[in-house]
Amino acid sequence: MASTPCPCGRTQPARPLAWADCCGRYLDAPSFAQSLPAPDAESLMRSRYSAFVRGDTAYLRATWHVSTCPEVVLADAGTRWLGLTVRAHRVIDADHAEVEFIARYRAGGVGLESGRAVRLHERSRFVRESDRWYYVDGDAL
């Protein structure tokens, strides 16, 4: 997995970054406390997308700000993530930022959305505390 392209789609300059050189740096640590902190809100958002792809709910919970994190964070194993496009990364100040993105996936599970392609367009808010960025919340666009 280390040399495969990262699911977040980040490139440098025009080639996809490998998992180990991208989101793997944040997700592959033995524990969140031992993980490398994402350097900015966009990197955290990309790593959270990769965590959804991998079904890593522990990482999603650890990177969700305590003020808005739900008690249970679920990832549907049947969901197939199709791609991520970052539209904008806006630094508000040293400890606040927003990231606008579009995540595409094919819904798994049962019910009305099962098997349907979904496009999630969101402007997310992030806060930095103790040198770590956290997802706070977002607005669907």
d(C-alpha 117, C-alpha 107), whole Å: 6
Of all residues in the chain, the percent with pLDDT exceeding 90 is 79
Of all residues in the chain, the percent with pLDDT exceeding 70 is 94
Assign 56 to helix, strand or coil.
coil
Contacts with 50 (C-beta within 8 Å, 6 or more apart), sequence order: 6, 7, 8, 22, 23, 27
Question: pLDDT per residue over 99-120, tens digit each?
Answer: 999 999 998 766 656 678 899 9
pLDDT of residue 110: 61
Is residue 77 over pLDDT 90?
A: no
pLDDT of residue 20: 94
Question: What pTM was estimated for this model as a whole?
Answer: 0.93
Mean pLDDT of 68-92: 94
pLDDT of residue 92: 98
